[in-house]
Amino acid sequence: MSIMRSGPADPEVTGAQIRGARGLLNMSVAELSERTGLAINTIRKAEKTNGLPEVTSGNLRLIITTLEQAGILFVPADHLGAGVRLRDLDLQPLQRRREKSAE
């Protein structure tokens, strides 16, 4: 029995898992916001809890799907708790965009 999901986005993903997923990908809140089309405040609201996010199920599904497409696997809760991992260990983290310096 596999502990990793392979089906559609699961609304049981926690805010802590979303934060962890972004960390594994080196993805900022702003970048996740840009990729999903959701407001930065919506992403922050989803991540502010260790439990179930206080966002609509549609927004949560969009966040989860976007992170999965970027290479994340959400591990459902078991006796060790919920988690996240990279789908491919060779996946390179996203490169942070550098702010253009004022010249």
* Tens digits of residue pLDDT in 76-93: 988 888 899 999 877 666
Residue 103 binned pLDDT confidence (cut-offs 50, 70, 90):
very low
Residue 96 binned pLDDT confidence (cut-offs 50, 70, 90):
low
Contact (Cβ atoms closer than 8 angstroms) between residue 79 and residue 15: no
Instruction: Give 26-79 pLDDT, tens digit per residue.
Output: 999 999 999 999 999 999 999 999 999 999 999 999 999 999 999 999 999 888
